[in-house]
Amino acid sequence: MREPRRVLRTSSCPLLGRLGTLLSVCAGGYSLLREQYVSASCLVPTQVFKEHGILYATPYDHEVRVKLGSIMGQRIGDAIRKAQEARKLDEDAEIPGIFNSISPGWWLQQLDSGGVRVERCAWQHLEFEQIDADYVVKEGDRARLMIHVHERAAPDVEIPIVYEDRQFLAISKPAGVDITANPSCGSVRLSVIGMLEAMGYSNVYPAHRIDKPVSGVLCFGKNKKALSRLMRCIRNRKVQKTYLARTLGGPEEDGLRILEPLDVVQDKLTMKSVAVASATGKRAESVVEKVLARHEDGTATLAVRILTGRYHQVRCHLQQAGWPIANDPTYGGVPQLGQEIFNGTRARQMIQEYQYPGCKSCEYFQDVVSGEEPPPRLDPTIWLHSWHYDFPTLGLSFEAPPPDWAGMS
């Protein structure tokens, strides 16, 4: 095993996609930490503002400090890759907690760029060691790094609370908003977790995931015990999950079962993970319970219950059945453009005021202002909605009101 690199980088700024992520991760902030060991989540205060129906967050320096106890004794690179593979195969797979709030991909990119250190308590001071993917995690290790974040703009939406007690919280997640605070995807303040924190919910833990373009019920535990109870039900398939989908056409009869086994592969064009029907894939079962509405444009709103929780299961199964979600181009639908962003006066002033030397994202937005690059757009959403989540053994039932596109009013 090679020796970890120990020299701190102070000028590099790896770009995580010019337009795709709208994020720059900069190690320049390390100079601040060498002078004063400050424990702060944000050294440059951020502001969130609204303009033309869009939420923007001003760029900021963000410090991440994470306990690594859940992967103690493992090479950190191996632990990251195992988590990546597990989530590709099953979106409800249990992975170490450090990868729930910050994605495995982000960890790996930071290790490759020399941007992760572990801190340890020494006699009257903290000691830091820069690590790479070969580092074996020791007892008491905490990772620490500084990043310069450009958050993705998000729709100006509220987060409705559909259920709350002392143990559990359920919301209706808006489409187009990431769930977790994930710097590699440019979502911290404007993630669901960040928005809930601004509403006063600072310690809630998501029990499952919903794709960014999808809306609907999202369940949280308010403590680790409550989270474990929810996740145990999901893992043991003691939860009933029903989705709404607006599709191109629809079945003539209710109760159709779709039993195609599903696998996960990498799309060669987009380099993103997608679900595919495969005889060697994992068992997957969906039931089109009812056609709830038929629309003049030839689309239909379906209620789909899933008995397994495979990656993109509803989206891929409906495509296989011949009724793809109407605006889901990944699985046979017609693509739609998201709303154009960064075209308002205040958003462009923000670009001019918040500049970071060497930040590629800052340079990109300067090109947007000058007209050299076209304005980016919000990520498009799709007509898929997590409608019901029922936990019979816990006596819990959550429903997110149907969106307008469902045409059920």
Nearest to 213 by CA among 68, 405, 42: 405
Which tens digits make up the pLDDT trace of 120-153?
A: 776 667 788 899 999 999 988 889 876 667 889 9
Which tens digits make up the pLDDT trace of 2-32?
A: 443 333 332 223 333 333 433 333 322 322 2
- Please report the sign of the dihedral spanned by the C-alpha atoms of residue 394, residue 386, residue 100, residue 89: positive
Name the fold adopted by 238-337+383-406: Pseudouridine synthase (3.30.2350)
Which tens digits make up the pLDDT trace of 52-74?
A: 999 999 988 777 788 899 999 99
Contact 289, 300 (CB under 8 A): no
Query: In the predicted model, what is the mean pLDDT of residues 371-386?
Result: 95
pLDDT higher than threshold 90 for residue 319: yes
Buried-exposed string 54-88: b where 16+ CB fall within 10 A, e elsewhere: bbbbbbbbbbbebebeebeebbbbebbebbbebbb
d(CA 149, CA 183): 7
Which tens digits make up the pLDDT trace of 255-276?
A: 999 999 999 999 888 888 999 9
Domain locations in the chain as residue ranges: 1-150, 238-337+383-406
Give the CA distances from residue 117 to residues 4, 33, 78, 167, 291, in Å, rounded to whole numbers and listed in that order. Answer: 10, 12, 17, 35, 54
Pick from 7-11, 20-24, 196-200, 344-348: least confident: 7-11
d(CA 144, CA 371): 38
- Write down the pLDDT at residue 6: 35
State the CB neighbour count (10 A cutoff) for residue 8: 15
- Write down the pLDDT at residue 183: 62
d(CA 18, CA 368): 12
pLDDT higher than threshold 60 for residue 312: yes
Query: In the predicted model, what is the mean pLDDT of residues 77-83?
Result: 92
Contact 354, 369 (CB under 8 A): no
- 246 beta partners: 301
pLDDT higher than threshold 80 for residue 377: yes
Largest CA distance in the chain: 73
End-to-end CA, the chain: 63
188 contact partners, CB below 8 Å, separation of at least 6: 57, 62, 149, 151, 181, 182, 194
Distance of alpha carbon 281 from the chain centroid:
24
pLDDT higher than threshold 50 for residue 357: yes
Q: In one letter, which amino acid is 255?
A: G
d(CA 289, CA 322): 16
Q: Which residue would you say has higher pLDDT here, 253 or 182?
A: 253
pLDDT-derived band at 101 (thresholds 50, 70, 90) equals: low
Distance of alpha carbon 91 from the chain centroid:
12
- Write down the pLDDT at residue 42: 43
**Element counts in the chain: helices (H) and strands (E):** 9, 19
Q: pTM of this prediction?
A: 0.73
